[in-house]
Structure 1
Amino acid sequence: MPKLNGNQISPGAVIEHDGGLWVAVKTNAVKPGKGGAFNQVELKNLIDGRKLNERFRADATVEAIDLELKDFSFLYKEGDALVFMDLETYEQIELAADWVGERAAFLQDGMKVTLQMHDGRAISIKLPAYVTLTIVEADPVVRGQTAASSYKPAVLENGLRILVPPFIASGERIVVDTSEVAYMRRAD
């Protein structure tokens, strides 16, 4: 495995540290008046999400981890498991719905997702940035509301609640940002 010096750790780098896999979220090179330079690094554990602030001296070395990006297709939900198929090998894997989190509601049959893999184990999932969904329930427009504060609650076909502009009605299809879980625009 490639080695990185402490001063080479940059945001996005995945390293092995204290027996776990960590991604560098923020880094700050510090050159104090006295003593050696060091890199102040905010780390996030890829398995359990814990955060850690660590100092790495410039001459310290860490193991750099290369994660494999693989494309999968979402097949179906079975109980608390989500079933995906590897688009190259056609092998199926199951991931816990709570591991994917609230964004699992955006998964649709055949949707292509990208998994970061390490030693055959899924570390993270990337969904498409935007999905198109139908509004199944939207509050009526309240006359006299100002435009600035007129976003109203609505329910999507996948059960998620979202705020939409007043002109959006039940039955309309909209584009939703999957990372922010936010209304973007009407679907074409």
Structure 2
Amino acid sequence: MNLGITEVKKGMVLKVEGELYSVVRSEFVNPGKGSAFIRTKLKNLVRNSSIERTFKAAEKLESVDLEKRQMTICYSDGDDIIFMDTNDFEQLPVSKEYLEDILPFLKEETAMEVSFYEGKPIGVIPPNFAILEVTYAEEGLKGDTSGTALKRVTVETGGEINVPIFVKQGDVIKIDLRDLTYVERVNK
């Protein structure tokens, strides 16, 4: 669907030079002299890189509608993760590269939104948080109560994360998957 520059909004998906980009930021500029334009920051949905791009008022942009499906992780298979559609139970492979940094913190059956374009998966939106049990933690140093001391622990999925020294093996913790940080201990 073609649209003018005044219709571009954050979150839209555009096709630019044959590639799909999500609009991260858009700023409409109407200078006193010359024609209006829009400054954008775009994120490539395949390569996960960002570009800044300016479009003139006369340019027509192509908006893309993506199919979004709720899916859960079934298992890992080589370079792919096999997801299952929660509505029709269809299983589809999705490249691990969409989740590589948070993969060590995801359990099977974790629900996510998978975006498709022309039947192919092009993006995965994971949950913001994971609740996981600590399977290995060294004892904290006695007397260090400053609150800023950290230690490395291993969680049930095999991922490692820095946590405050009071966290011990068997604790259940909440991890922010957006920046891979410890949030809090959770009651079982």
| TM-score calculated relative to the size of structure 1 | 0.90
1:126/1:99 CA distance change after superposition, 3 Å: closer
- How many residue pairs were aligned? 187
> Could you report, residue by residue, the CA deviation over 1:11-54 in whole angstroms, capped at 9, with x for unpaired residues?
21111111111111112222223211111111111111232221
Contact 1:7-1:56 at 8 Å conserved across structures: no
Cα separation, 1, equivalents of 2:14 and 2:79 = 31
Which secondary structure does the structure 2 equivalent of 1:7 belong to?
A: helix
Letter of the 1:7 counterpart: T
Cα separation, 1, equivalents of 2:143 and 2:110 = 41
Aligned to 1:11: 10
Aligned to 1:186: 185
Which secondary structure does the structure 2 equivalent of 1:108 belong to?
A: coil
Cα separation, 2, equivalents of 1:149 and 1:53 = 38
Identity of aligned pairs, percent? 28
1:106/1:161 CA distance change after superposition, 3 Å: closer
Which secondary structure does the structure 1 equivalent of 2:81 belong to?
A: strand
Which secondary structure does the structure 1 equivalent of 2:11 belong to?
A: coil
Aligned to 1:133: 132
Task: Using the TM superposition, give the Cα deviation of residue 148 of structure 1 relative to its aligned residue in structure 2, in angstroms.
Answer: 4.2
Deviation larger for 43-52 or 143-152 = 143-152
Aligned to 2:103: 104
Task: Using the TM superposition, give the Cα deviation of residue 71 of structure 1 relative to its aligned residue in structure 2, in angstroms.
Answer: 0.8
Task: Using the TM superposition, give the Cα deviation of residue 66 of structure 1 relative to its aligned residue in structure 2, in angstroms.
Answer: 1.0
Where in structure 2 are there 5+ consecutive unaligned residues? Answer: none
Aligned to 1:49: 48
Letter of the 1:168 counterpart: V
- 1:83 pairs with 2:104: no
1:148/1:174 CA distance change after superposition, 3 Å: closer
